[in-house]
Structure 1
Amino acid sequence: MSNGYESRRAWEDFVGPNLAYVAELYEEYLVNPTAIPADVRDLFERFGNPVSMEEIGEVVQVDAWAAEQLVAAQDLMRSVRQYGHLVADTYPLKQSDPFADEGLLNPASVGLTGADLRQIPARLLWPTDLKSLAGGGPRTTNGTDTTKITDTTATGWDVYQRLLEVYTGSMAYEFAHVHQKGEREWLQDAVESGRFAVHLDAEEQRALLGRLTEVEGLETFLQRTFVGQKRFSIEGVDILVPILDELIHQSLALGTQQVMMGMAHRGRLNVLAHVLGKPYEAIFSEFHQSPHKDLVPSEGSMGMNFGWTGDVKYHLGARRTLAKQAVLQARLVLANNPSHLEFVDPVVEGYTRAAQDCRDVGGAPPQDVQAALAILVHGDASFPGEGVVAETLNLSRLPGYGTGGTVHILVNNLVGFTAVAKETRSTHYASDLAIGFEIPVIHVNADDPEACLTAASLAHAYRTEFHKDVLIEIIGYRRYGHNEMDDPMVTQPQLYAVIQNHPRVRSLYAQHLLAQGHVTEEQVSDMEQRVQARLQESLATTRDTGVPVDLPEAPGNGGDAAIETGVPLAVLQDLNTQLLKWPEGFTIYPKLDRILKRREHSFNEAGVVDWAQAEVLALATLVQEGTPIRLTGQDTERGTFSQRHLVLHDVNKQETYTPLQHLLDRKATFAVHNSPLSEASVLGFEYGYSVQAPETLVLWEAQYGDFANAAQVIIDQFLAAGHAKWRQPSGLVLLLPHGYEGQGPEHSSARLERYLQLAAENDLQVAVPTTSAQYFHLLRRQAQRLGEQGRPLVVMTPKSLLRSPRTASAWQEFTSGQFSPVLVTGSPQPTRVLLCSGKVALDLEAALNDSPGMCSTTAILRLEQLYPFPETEIAAMWLKWKNVKQVRWVQEEPRNMGAWSYVEPRIRQGMPAGMSISYVGREERSSPAEGLPQMHEWAQSKLLQGALSEDITVGSNERPNSISKG
């Protein structure tokens, strides 16, 4: 509320009946503020009572005209603020916007004229200091300065002109959708006051011109030197590099230690060179112009046999360390990514969260959002088109996934390959998806460099102030086709006729500086010549001497040597006791209380440990030993099957307690989070976290293993191939509930065959443990393998067997030993061997126990690890077993799924001469499992009969689910 003097000045232009009408509105405002128009209500809140009743006099008739004009003027100003972006000068090619309604911003649209606006004092329409009305806001190359204004002369017309300048120039804004009033007001003030405008002096302008010359120079040099080679040039949005420069500069000034970036292929080589500092020589080498061309992992390399395959040059990432006087200042990271657009987004978010979390203390990891910044560069077709974008945006404010705000840069070059906007999105702007997440949007003309830097400055300031996402849309164009061999005139002839005649941004900015007298023609020419000379020198170096290539070592055996993972009994007992304690006064659900108490009894008295208890003990031992742990997934805190209960809930208060975060002598953090209902973004996030924090055991659990294929791109392009393509290790663990139990096609298979198909070059580990002790040792083994030799671990976990005595292990199995790739039960000298993996092994054991006559002749050989394949262990069994006449592979999955296609050639290759293997399981199917419980029961029964029988009918067609042996 202003003081009395200010209030009198605010209302002094209202006299007579006009003042009476305003006073009448104020009386109504006192009774019911919401009944008054918002703009008038704001005036009352700022300036208070317009006048006392004594000052009104004997006014009988109230003239509403002046007040109606004020309300109309407020509506006009609000329209400019809210819809100015529709008519803004943000398109370099000056395309007309079909949605633009210029009449909406005309005074006539609210029944006013310019003369009317000149009668309204500016202070009634301008919320901030009138000094900012006098051209104090952001100046842009394409804009004009507002006429100098004083407090006494400023009118509504001046406000209107100033708002047009701010909201319809080279920059435009959308933030009316932001729900928080404080944020909206902050944004409006920041925009209109120009607090974050970038004002460059002559030297800084010349530096910016030099930067644009470097950006353009590299592209034109590549175009001229490597004719017809793909590079996906940045031309048309050259300003992306200076924008990244500005964001990095702003971040480092505030103490940010790591900047994580993700982007697609367009402009990537330029960003690698000029932001990440990749030498020109290395880039030229990747165009196959050096003697080392066959050693470089780039497009077209053939005949390489170094244990990795590499990737095309415009997929590769980089890491750069910034230091001053040998003191580390920051690290810049550009993530490797495939051609699957936008799937790198959650990976970069995982990088960033890992860089923000402090994991070397006990308890939950504290997060410092200022320690790292995520910058994601999107395309105008992929941002609204790829669903992983929305999934990633949804992570931004979740406690387990937020990174304190990401700066999104949407590079709009008007065309997606050959498709234009009307073919690629149903929204007006490519950025409209962000509106639903309350993300402020800044549209900016790519041909106005200083406006683009102001957009970056404002975006970073908003992220710093509110720790939320913000989006900059750079509107430019694509100078060539999708790639340099593509002719865009075939599909966009009119557009490219304009582009061919459109000057480049460096030329436009040079002309702007020449007009200002801030640069000379000689300086402009010298900049270009120096850049080209440097590029030519780098090319000559590459051709003459080559560039040393840092080849990775070929993958070894993945550390498959046995690792002792037992834990002393006293330690396990102590941890088990701690895990079953919670603070005094903390009341958990009585039923859960009884369940947890049984864990104490089963360990200390019965001497057996079930699956969930083995898991929590494994995690507890690792936390106590100093391995940070992060476990996430849908319903993971409790467990899909109500088995885990890592987070306890007080039944009387909104409080939780996580025992693993309160262990005595803990040396590392433990984090557990329920994830959103997403697979692609969440698994991508956890992959990124595991890469950035290689010392951390990161586990992701699918609600059911079958659902993991919603993240197939992450699995195929990152998890399985990341090391071979990018030399990028990950120790991520996938927990995939698996097993045929009559729950239908989407709750049974976990698509085991897909991971086995991907398994090669020691890229993965695939395990199907069937006892709680095996699972315990497997997790601890994975923790010991983390680091440079880390590789993902895919675990098929049980469902109904989680509480079964058949999977529970005696405590003695936890105190010594290690994970065993194979387990053997049954006859010590069998004539028949049933090879299998997973739950079916336990079903076979039960069936065998019901057939005593077969026990002496049959052995069950469980493959607890499928990849790397346990050749040595299986070979040892063939040497031990002298009387084997029959070997069968038994699986629950259809013949074209599961492990059969993978194990059959490997088992056959290692078998003694004269021995063969046959298949027992479901026939080939398009769907993994039966939908009806009766069909499932029948199929399972036939499977077990076929496994134990002397012979079965091959290809029987008695039922649609016939079981075959072949």
Structure 2
Amino acid sequence: MKKQQPDFSQWLETTQFFGGNLEYLESIYDDYISGNYDGIDSKWLSFFDSVASSTDTVHRDLVDEFKYLAKNKTNTTVVTAGENDVTLKARALVKAYRSHGYKSANIDPLGLTKFERDSDLELSAQGLSQNDLSEQVNLGEFTNDKPMSLQDVINKAKAIYESSVGYEYRYIGNKEEKLWLQSKIEDTISFSNEQKKWILQQLVAAEGLEKYLALRYVGQKRFGLEGGESLIPSLQHIIEKSVSKHATRFVQLGMAHRGRLNVLVNVMGKNPKELFEEFEGKQSEKSLSGDVKYHMGYSNYRSIDGKEAKIALAFNPSHLEAVDPVVEGAAKAIQDKLDGDVHSKVLPVLIHGDSAFCGQGVVMETFGFSLTEAYGTGGTIHLVVNNQVGFTTSSALGVNRSSNYSTDIAKMVDAPIFHVNGDDPEAVLKVTDIALEYRMKFNKDVVIDLVCYRKNGHNETDEPSGTQPKMYEVIKKLPSTLKQYSERLQKAGVVDSELFSRMNTNYRSKLDNGKVTVDVLDRSAVKDKLNVCDWLPYIGNQETKYIYKAIPQKTLKELALKMSDVPEEIKAQMQVKKAITDRIKMANGELPLNWGFAETLAYATLLDEGYPVRISGEDSGRGTFSHRHAVVKNMNTDSKIKEYIPLQHINEKVRFDVIDSTLSEYGVLGFEYGYSCYSPDSLVIWEAQFGDFVNTAQVVIDQFLVAAEEKWGILSGLTLLLPHGQEGAGAEHSSARLERFLASCANMNMQVCTPTTPAQIYHLLRRQVIRPLRKPLIVMTPKSLLRNPMAVSSIAELSKGKFEPVIDDATAKADKVKKLILCNGKVYYDLMTKKQDKYGDIAVVRLEELYPFPQEELAQIFAKYKNAEKVVWLQEEPQNKGAWYNIRHFIEKLVGKKHELVCVARERSSTPAVGYHAMYVKQQEEIINRALEI
């Protein structure tokens, strides 16, 4: 027979264990459940026996609540050992609602999606019955520290956890977060009449714009928001409260096409007249090729409670979710330029579709950034416009996803998820408020799953009933969110029909007169206050001559020694130590300069001149091929200093970041692109581990890097370092797909270079920042050349030289040359090793810049070798790859009919390289011999 249980509330008030030493409480309970009863006081045994009679959830609630109490010093009542059996079981039932109530919440406005109610919510599962419903229980904070009947407890739990919101948060590992959320969720919120009118006005705007466009532009695509109008008050609340309460200065938005026009007009403050002109085809910049209206970005300035903020919506393509990492990168770049609480000052918000959110891998890649130091932005608010269909495919478990909810991917970072019925705008506002406050307090991601519907088809010309007949049978009969909410407020006496009619009339009048629908600030008055980067020096520049700024050898030596200076307490690994020692020798003129030295010195000189540098990629700290060693790890593991980055001490006022990225190409390249768009004064680099892996990020290359300037007028100076070259390493480690980049080159949209000497990479990296031109730079970087004794430079070449688009053959005698071999990349050294002095009538010329094609420089070369009869283009890639097909027409134009033009390359192939080293060697010898003998 069990002993009488002690009064736990009295113990709580008097024991030295209150709020602290919780490990003791947990440890004795763990002993209890393990059967180790020796040493456990009989009173504790009795208490734990009573706990065991229900479910094991109480133990975790106890510990959670104790830890919360310890941190917050509140008077919240917790379970007492003297409580009756019904009270303990009631606690377990409430815990079950917290954990499982979301499964049966009324979140679908169409009423078509039903999740089976969890069995733990049944009375019998907790050892309760109908006879207990009248029992009085005191559950502390949940019952406001007052007795309440079990029936009322259940009613309250249902009202919170089974109504219009399904709260998923109990999986979160951090106890403070979980208990904070619990407190906010269970707090009763009532909206004032003014707040309700504000919500109504937002819905009037959301529905009003869609109706207006539907009537004025019949049949035109706009990817309307009908059915998901609650997005607008939710988004407005995030912006207004973040600015007014948390002093947010920058809100960075990213979203797809659905509802974008509505957001542009009703949230961003875009003048409706501008939108109408886009519909009518009147607005077009001659210098831009343009894009469809639902891809266009926008920025504006707003003042909320006297606080000014810039709201920016990123441009994006139709490739769903591609904009996610771009927005995160932009937010990070802005944060890196600010001081103080940068996470509060810059807020990223991403708006998703349900099918894309669970279907696109870049979503997971972007979530993977959220808790990292190098890519984290202090949390992102994710708004999923869940219209329960993806184009024509049902968005359901077993159809287009394998998870219970489309938002389950967010659990990977312990992000709370709030599923909310879009037809309950007040519930939407409640979860929006919790989401914003959670993000600001804990600097973590949070997800609002706005469960709604799509009134029309995928676009306005699409008939959806053929693929979703049942869904659209319901939708056709369903009153709009605005109609339902307006009737609810009129019934409650909050508004009358006259006020509601006036709201609609006033909004339509703004559209008719082309007036902005939200209060915005004059750009000229505030842009300087909220301008973190200045693009004016670069706008309109296409091809500018590089005015080289020579750096004295003395300065280069000083910087070289400084970038090689490592404190004595850092014990470098043997090979790293040798690399550092060799760099000191290079600085002192004792060794020729290798690639790693020259590249690092380029960064050092830029930092010294005040230009920030950011290098990001897989293994970028060391470099895939151990050439960089920008981060020196301390082999003395007992030391407090774990690593040292010499370049961070070149100029303490300027940022240098070298980042070993997450194992992601698509996401990281998108992030760095976004970062570069807000960093015109910085050298921003993304480096591929091997050049081949760049194809994983092809969407970012095609949609942003290559085309953003021509489509949207967006500039970027992002640099890509892509290890490239045939070395017998197989098909996957040989090619950065040079041909793809060259095929995408047009209208001076980017630069593609293949430097072959340390001096060339030094000058190329410096040129990228110093000249007033911002174009993406694609660099085919070497692998074996990093250590090739022929691929070296002198300090004088760094000090006095500049980047040369074309490098002439210094050994050739112009009047004796009968054949001109043009080539690029590593094959030059293979060719020169074979050529030596045997072929005095051959000149070998390197093309270091393939786009923009160096026609002037090459024309001078042809003029010099006027006796040449034959021109050979040599490349080590297969003939259908590499540079040949994309530069042939440039060379033919220069060669004319005077010279015979021949291409020497590997045979056409579907793969970039062979997989057998012996075959590679044989092929390489063949093309070298052919080039020399042909």
SS at match of 1:692: coil
Conserved in 2, the CA contact under 8 Å of 1:566 and 1:777?
no
Q: 2:754–2:824: 8 Å Cα contact kept in structure 1?
A: yes
Q: Does residue 184 of the first structure (1) align with residue 178 of the second (2)?
A: yes
Amino acid at match of 2:284: V
- Deviation of 1:917 after TM superposition, in Å, equals 1.0
Aligned-partner Cα distance in 2 for 1:30–1:130: 24
Are residue 925 (structure 1) and residue 901 (structure 2) matched?
no
Check whether the contact 2:561–2:587 (CA below 8 A) recurs between aligned residues.
no
Larger deviation, residues 640-649 vs 157-166: 157-166
Q: CA deviation at 1:185?
A: 1.3
Kept after mapping to 2: 8 A contact 1:342/1:386: yes
Q: Which of 272, 278, 281 is matched with 1:286 structurally?
A: 278
Separation of aligned partners in 2, 1:267 and 1:280: 15
Q: Please name the residue that 2:160 is paired with.
A: 166
Distance 2:208 2:198 in 1: 15
| Equivalent position of 2:390 in the other structure | 416
Aligned Cα RMSD in Å?
2.7
Superposed, which structure 2 residues align to 1:896-935 within 5 Å?
896-935=880-919
For residues 316 and 49 of structure 1, the distance between their equivalents in structure 2, rounded to whole angstroms, comes to 60
Give distance in 2, aligned partners of 1:223 and 1:23.
Answer: 74
1:227 to partner: Cα distance: 0.6
> 251, 267, 280: which is aligned to 1:275?
267
Aligned to 2:525: none
The superposition leaves residues 50-88 of structure 1 with CA deviations (integer Å, 9 ceiling, x where unpaired) of 47xxxxxxxxxxxxxx96655543332222111111111
Decide which of 775, 778, 785 is 1:791's aligned counterpart. Answer: 775
* 3-state SS, counterpart of residue 286 of structure 1: helix
Pick closer, same or farther for the CA change 1:34–1:881 going to 2, 3 Å: farther
Name 1:370's counterpart in structure 2.
344
- For residue 329 of structure 1, the aligned residue among 274, 283, 308 is 308
Contact 2:384/2:450 (8 A) holds in 1: yes
Equivalent in 94, 108, 112 of residue 77 of structure 1: 94
CA distance 1:527–1:47, change in 2 (3 Å): closer
Change (3 A) 1:129 1:673: same
Shift in CA distance, 629/554, structure 1 to aligned 2, threshold 3 Å: closer
Task: Give the Cα–Cα distance (whole angstroms) in 2 for the partners of residues 92 and 813 of structure 1.
Answer: 70
Q: Hey, what does 2:210 align to over in structure 1?
A: 219
**CA contact under 8 A between 1:355 and 1:371: conserved in structure 2?**
no
Contact residue 277 and residue 283 of structure 2 kept, 8 A: no
CA distance in 2, matches of 1:616, 1:476: 53
Question: Which residue of 1 is the match for residue 813 of structure 2?
Answer: 828
1:528 is matched with which residue: 501, 504, 511?
504
Q: Which amino acid aligns with 2:493?
A: G
Alignment-derived partner of residue 56 in structure 1 = none
1:679 and 2:684 aligned: no
Aligned counterparts, 1:592-631, within 5 A: 592-606=576-590, 608-631=592-615
CA distance 1:187–1:5, change in 2 (3 Å): closer
Matched, 1:751 2:737: yes
Match for residue 146 of structure 1? Answer: none
1:33–1:877 distance in 2 versus 1, CA, 3 Å: farther
Q: Which moved more, 1:107-116 or 1:176-185?
A: 107-116
Structure 1 equivalent of residue 495 of structure 2: 519
Contact 1:878 1:912 in 2 (8 A): no
Match of residue 104 from structure 2: 87
Q: Which amino acid letter does the alignment assign opposite residue 751 of structure 1? A: R
1:196-244 Cα deviation digits (max 9, x unpaired) = x4x4322232222122111111100110110110000011110111111
Change (3 A) 1:430 1:43: closer
Match of 2:134 among 96, 118, 128: 118
Whether the 8 Å contact between 1:623 and 1:666 is mirrored in structure 2 is no
**Aligned equivalents of 1:698, 1:28: Cα separation in 2:** 64
State the partner residue of 1:130: 143
Return the offset for 1:669: 1.1
Contact 1:119 1:156 in 2 (8 A): yes
Determine if the alignment matches structure 1 residue 403 to structure 2 residue 377: yes
TM-score under structure 2 length normalisation: 0.88
Q: Is the 8 A contact 1:565 1:777 kept in 2?
A: no
8 Å Cα contact 1:307/1:553 also seen in 2: no
For residues 936-947 of structure 1, the aligned pairs below 5 Å read: 936-947=920-931
CA–CA distance in structure 1, aligned partners of residues 100 and 79 of structure 2: 30
Offset, 1:316: 0.3
Mapped pair 1:26 → 2:44: yes
Amino acid at match of 2:833: A
Name the counterpart of 1:949: 933
The one-letter amino acid of 1:604's match is N
**What SS does the corresponding residue of 2:489 show, helix, strand or coil?**
helix
| Structure 1 residues 48 and 393: CA distance shift in structure 2, 3 A | closer
- Once residues 169 and 513 of structure 2 are traced to their aligned partners in structure 1, the CA distance between those partners, rounded to angstroms, is 48
Rounded Cα–Cα distance in structure 1 between residues aligned with 2:430 and 2:79: 36
Change (3 A) 1:538 1:810: same
Shift of 1:330: 1.1
SS at match of 2:487: helix
Per-residue Cα deviation, 1:441-482 (whole angstroms, up to 9, x for no partner): 001111111111111110011111111100000000000000
Q: Look up the match of 1:781.
A: 767
- Partner Cα separation in structure 1 for residue 105 and residue 401 of structure 2: 21
Return 720-729 or 200-209, whichever deviates more. Answer: 200-209
Report what 1:147 is aligned to. none
1:210 aligned onto 2:201: yes
- Is this contact kept in 1: 2:271–2:515, CA < 8 A? no
Q: Which residue of 1 aligns with 2:235?
A: 244
2:685 paired residue among 699, 702, 709: 699
Structure 2 residue aligned with 1:296: 284
Q: Does 1:726 align with 2:712?
A: yes
Letter in 1 for 2:58: D
Change (3 A) 1:430 1:50: closer
Match of 2:565 in 1: 581
The answer on whether the counterparts of 1:26 and 1:49 sit within 8 Å (CA) in structure 2 is no
How far, CA to CA, are the matches of 2:808 and 2:282 in structure 1? Answer: 48
Percent of aligned positions with the same letter in both sequences? 40
C-alpha contact (below 8 Å) 1:624/1:666 kept by paired residues: no
1:766-811: per-residue Cα shift (whole Å, max 9, x none)?
A: 000000001000000001136xx41100001011111222221011
**Letter in structure 1 aligned against 2:456:** Y
**How many Å separate the matches in 2 of 1:41 and 1:218?**
50
Amino acid at match of 1:232: F
**Residues 1:749 and 1:769: Cα distance change in structure 2 (over 3 Å):** same
Q: Secondary structure, in 3 states, of the residue corresponding to 2:293?
A: coil
Instruction: Structure 1 unaligned segments of length 5 or more: list them.
Output: 9-21, 52-65, 132-150, 298-305, 360-364, 541-551, 951-966
Q: Indicate which of 247, 262, 265 corresponds to 1:255.
A: 247
Q: What is the identity, as a one-letter code, of the residue corresponding to 1:343?
A: A
Matched pairs, number: 864
> Which residue of 298, 312, 319 corresponds with 1:340?
319
2:750 counterpart residue number: 764
- Secondary structure in structure 1 of the residue aligned to 2:337: coil
TM-score, length-normalised on structure 1? 0.86
Q: Which residue of 1 aligns with 2:825?
A: 838
**Equivalent position amino acid for 1:121 in 2:** V
2: CA distance, partners of 1:624 / 1:427: 52
For residues 416 and 48 of structure 1, the distance between their equivalents in structure 2, rounded to whole angstroms, comes to 47
Deviation at residue 90 of structure 1 after TM alignment: 1.1
Which of 487, 490, 501 is residue 477 of structure 2 equivalent to? 501
Return the alpha-carbon distance in structure 1 between the equivalents of residues 585 and 137 of structure 2: 81
1:141 alignment partner in structure 2? none
- Aligned partner (choices 262, 266, 274) of residue 258 of structure 2: 266
Distance 1:538 1:938, change over 3 A: same
Question: Quick one: which amino acid aligns to residue 405 of structure 1?
Answer: G
d(CA) in 2 for partners of 1:32 and 1:573? 76
- Show structure 2 runs of 5+ residues with no match: 1-7, 16-39, 67-76, 517-535
Separation (CA, whole Å) in 2 of partners of 1:367 and 1:798? 41
User: What's the counterpart of residue 880 of structure 1?
Assistant: 864
How far residue 761 of structure 1 moved from its aligned partner, in angstroms, is 1.0
User: Is 1:633 the counterpart of 2:625 in the alignment?
Assistant: no
